[in-house]
Amino acid sequence: MKSKVEQPIALICTFTWIGFVCAISSLEAWLKFRAPGVTLPIGLGIGRLVFAALNKVEWVFAVAILISNIRVVKKISISPFYILVVLVLILQTVWLLPALDARAELYSQDKPVPYSNLHFYYVIAEGVKIISLFIFGTQLFKLEKV
């Protein structure tokens, strides 16, 4: 058996995307608050900046994967796992990130911030995204008999 990749750009984007999400959501998000001199407002400001940038990069990956698919398959024929990733990304872009941004702004202004499960939802969304991207990425490999 030999492995074949018809969409190398999609494959590269998929696994690079996983790396970005794992590095930022799993490491940067909580490590910045452990750095000496980083106060809550500073940490929240860094987080807002980093997660906004990550979201833009994720959209670039999503579009690159879609374009790769269209160029190779000559139509949109994409895995349900990719569709799930894009739906999660839409949810994060239009709801979770703006809501978390608004909470961070309240913290930065020393205003009362009511309890919320938004961070929990974001972590779950990141987990779903990572697992779905991994399954999608493995589907990009085609096995052929030699």
pLDDT at 127: 97
Q: What is the DSSP letter of 34?
A: G
pLDDT in tens, 65-102: 999 999 887 776 689 999 999 999 999 999 999 999 99
Strand partners, 4: 142
Q: What is the mean pLDDT of the chain?
A: 92
- The answer to whether residues 79 and 136 touch, using CB atoms and an 8 Å cutoff, is yes
Q: Name 131's Cβ contacts closer than 8 Å, sequence gap at least 6.
A: none
**The pLDDT of residue 42 is above 70:** yes
Percent of all residues in the chain with a pLDDT value above 70, rounded to a whole number: 95
Strand partners, 143: 3
Q: What are phi and psi of 144, to 5 degrees?
A: -130, 150
**The pLDDT of residue 146 is above 90:** no
Residue 78's region, left for phi above 0, alpha for psi from -120 to 50, else beta, is: beta
pLDDT in tens, 18-27: 999 999 998 9
